[in-house]
């Protein structure tokens, strides 16, 4: 049995208009491709590459484009079971169903899942008008309205949105209303998370992608039903009921026997401070492979495998060094890349924004091995971005390749 893949334009002003189609997709009555209604060029590209109007298995509810910064997005094929399993696991982890505020575009998986969770919970989501970007007063109005229900309250934000809301008392008061704020889409500044918690705001960092029906690892721990393993190369593999059924428009060899091989590296380690809802079921967990009652293992993502810098035969995940830079007072954002070098192959360099001086940074990194110290360290007004909170590494590399 098959459907014909239908376009699903998402209006930034009224994303709730897609709720009926989304409900039909979850019920198995249609297959849809979410599209940004305001971006004709991207919509046209996606329509073509995802083969809108052509047959697709009736098992597929949504084809959700990945958010890669280069090349043509891949279309992750998500089933109704993928979407509902993710929503159920999220509610179980956060403490139960509740009211949801949508502050992200609903043609991306993070926004789609806010709507799916609302449908599963049987509530109407409060949707922001995002035509002018993230507006803190509007966010505060939504939070106030949801607070009147007396129910549990949740939202999903990018790190940039969280930081913007925390810049004002109105935003801080609004953030405090939520039982949990899922934060993902990009690495979150550790000082931002620390400040939020000191202000009695409850951010929950998420790791996942379109291929996993959204975030499937919260604060380092897999959601109920989600499985995590790390192979000998350090590559993270994710499994369980949220894993997509391959790609619509690309090679699906990353999907094998219910597992998805990510492009990320990381490591697992047992943790005594795991929350009560943490999922211990990691059968391929090298940290505790044989224990009858294994301690939940915490996943640390060290960086993307394709970002690895090879400098003189020594390999560095740039994200690890970036995290060290972000812990330095006065560093607001940082990006570490490798640039061609005739002897080393790649030379480690970095750009950052903030008021910290070059001397401040070099002194803070003094305990690092010499080869890991950036050979070029440049302060910029702001780092180039490919999307909300996502640094354009290629643009930074081009910048630091020039004298």
Residues 256, 334 share a domain: no
Cβ atoms of residues 99 and 154 within 8 Å:
yes
Domain finish residue from 256, 281, 302: 302
Residues 121, 29 share a domain: yes
pLDDT tens, position by position, 60-82 = 999 999 875 456 789 999 999 99
Residues 341, 394 share a domain: yes
Cβ atoms of residues 31 and 83 within 8 Å:
no
Buried residues in 102-131 as b, exposed as e (16+ CB within 10 A): bbbbbbbbbbbbbbbbbbbbebebbbbebe
Residues 172, 154 share a domain: yes
pLDDT tens, position by position, 305-325 = 888 899 988 989 899 899 899
CATH number for 80:
3.40.50.12780
State residue 285's pLDDT score: 44
Domain finish residue from 302, 319, 338: 302
State residue 287's pLDDT score: 42
pLDDT tens, position by position, 349-374 = 999 999 999 999 999 999 999 999 99
Which two structure tokens, joined as six digits, stand for 25?
A: 């997709």
- For residue 365, what are the domain limits? 308-401
Residues 260, 120 share a domain: yes
Domain finish residue from 302, 327, 359: 302
Query: Is the pLDDT assigned to residue 231 strictly greater than 80?
Result: yes
Residues 178, 101 share a domain: yes
Cβ atoms of residues 181 and 201 within 8 Å:
yes
pLDDT tens, position by position, 368-390 = 999 999 999 999 999 998 766 67
Residues 374, 332 share a domain: yes
Residue 93 has φ and ψ, to the nearest 5°, of -75, -35
Residues 321, 232 share a domain: no
State residue 306's pLDDT score: 86
Residues 226, 361 share a domain: no
Residues 235, 377 share a domain: no
Residues 67, 90 share a domain: yes
pTM value is 0.86
pLDDT tens, position by position, 3-59 = 999 999 999 999 999 999 999 999 999 999 999 999 999 999 999 999 999 999 999
Looking at the structure of the chain, the number of domains it has is 2
State residue 102's pLDDT score: 98
Query: How much of the chain, in percent, has pLDDT values that exceed 90?
Result: 79
State residue 388's pLDDT score: 64
Sequential DSSP letters for 264-331:
EEEEEEE-TT--TT-----TT-TTSSS-SSPPPEEEEEEEEGGG-EEETTEEE-HHHHHHHHHTSTT-
Residues 119, 25 share a domain: yes
pLDDT tens, position by position, 325-353 = 999 999 999 999 999 988 889 999 999 99
């Amino acid at each position: 049995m098959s459907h014909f893949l239908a376009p699903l334009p998402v209006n930034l002003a009224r994303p709730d208009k897609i709720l009926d189609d989304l409900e039909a997709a979850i019920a198995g009555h249609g297959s849809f491709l979410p599209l940004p209604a305001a971006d004709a060029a991207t919509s046209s590209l996606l329509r073509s590459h995802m083969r809108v109007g052509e047959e697709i298995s009736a098992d597929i509810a949504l084809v959700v484009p990945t958010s890669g910064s280069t090349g043509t997005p891949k279309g992750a094929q998500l089933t109704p079971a993928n979407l509902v399993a993710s929503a159920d696991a999220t509610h179980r982890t956060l403490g139960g169903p509740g009211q949801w505020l949508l502050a992200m575009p609903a043609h991306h998986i993070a926004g789609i899942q806010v709507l799916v969770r609302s449908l599963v919970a049987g509530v109407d989501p409060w949707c922001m008008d995002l035509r002018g970007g993230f507006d803190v007063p509007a966010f505060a109005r939504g939070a106030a309205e949801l607070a009147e229900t007396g129910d549990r309250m949740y939202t999903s934000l990018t790190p940039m949105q969280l930081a913007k809301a925390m810049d004002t008392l109105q935003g801080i008061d609004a953030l405090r209303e939520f039982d949990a704020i899922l934060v993902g889409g990009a690495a979150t500044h550790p000082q931002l998370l620390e400040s939020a918690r000191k202000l009695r705001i409850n951010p929950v960092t998420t790791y996942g992608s379109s291929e996993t029906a959204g975030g499937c690892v919260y604060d380092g721990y897999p959601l109920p039903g989600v499985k995590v393993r790390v192979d000998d190369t350090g590559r993270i593999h994710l499994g369980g009921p949220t894993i997509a059924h391959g790609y619509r428009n690309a090679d699906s060899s990353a999907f094998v026997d219910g597992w998805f091989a990510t492009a990320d590296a990381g490591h697992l380690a047992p943790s005594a401070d795991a929350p009560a809802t943490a999922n211990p079921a990691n059968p391929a967990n090298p940290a505790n492979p044989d224990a009858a009652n294994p301690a939940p293992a915490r996943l640390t993502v060290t960086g993307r495998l394709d970002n690895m810098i090879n400098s003189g035969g020594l390999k560095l995940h740039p994200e690890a060094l970036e995290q060290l830079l972000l812990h330095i007072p006065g560093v607001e954002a940082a990006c570490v890349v490798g640039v061609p070098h005739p002897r080393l192959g790649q030379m480690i360099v970095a750009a950052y924004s903030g008021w910290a001086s070059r001397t401040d940074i070099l002194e803070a990194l003094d305990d690092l091995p010499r080869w890991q110290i950036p050979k070029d360290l440049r302060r910029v007004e702001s780092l180039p971005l490919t999307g909300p909170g996502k640094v354009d590494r290629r643009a930074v590399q081009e910048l630091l390749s020039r004298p």
